[in-house]
Structure 1
Amino acid sequence: MARIVISIDPLPTERPRARKQLVVCSRCGPVGGPHGLHTLATAAQDHHLAQHKAALTTPTTSEALR
């Protein structure tokens, strides 16, 4: 299985201090819309990574027997 990389890429703008960040997943592509604050982009990055981890977890034995 390939490693999933979730990065925060800056979007070029005309005003350098008004830069927006875009969260990009190596498997899904762009995640959501551009974020104006790096802290919001980091939160979206963590949330998307948690979604991938949740999809990889396997059910326990008791759940599989139901």
Structure 2
Amino acid sequence: MARISVKITPFHPDGTECTHAIRPSGKPRDPDSGCTGRRDYAVVCSACGPIGEPHGLRVLAEPAQIAHRDSHKVTPVSVTR
């Protein structure tokens, strides 16, 4: 079975993914990077793609991340002899 990852991905206000280093305030560490700051956080599954709507704060996206990851867990199959 392939390994599935469920990550929280930050996005710029224009909808592009943000890969810049960010200060705790949400502003870019390097002012010359062209980064406009982070606005939304989306849960993205490697098997299913984007999950639900983006969240304004990372902490608000974590429950959706956990719930979706749990939905991929395989239930153990009992073996009878």
Letter paired with 2:75: T
For 1:39-50, list aligned pairs within 5 A.
Answer: 39-50=59-70
TM-score, normalised via structure 1 length: 0.75
In structure 2, distance between residues paired with 1:9 and 1:31: 11
Identical aligned pairs, as a percentage? 48
More helix by share: 1
More strand by share: 1
Q: Provide the aligned C-alpha RMSD in A.
A: 1.8
1:4 aligns with 2:8: no
Who is 2:17 aligned against?
none
In structure 1, distance between residues paired with 2:53 and 2:13: 15
Considering Cα pairs closer than 8 Å and 6+ residues apart, tell me whether 1 or 2 has the greater RCO: 2
Who is 2:75 aligned against?
57
Letter paired with 1:24: V
* 1:8, distance to aligned residue in structure 2 (A): 0.6
**Structure 2 unmatched runs, 5+:** 15-35
In structure 2, distance between residues paired with 1:30 and 1:8: 10
TM-score, normalised via structure 2 length: 0.62
* 1:11, distance to aligned residue in structure 2 (A): 1.1
Task: Give the number of aligned pairs.
Answer: 58
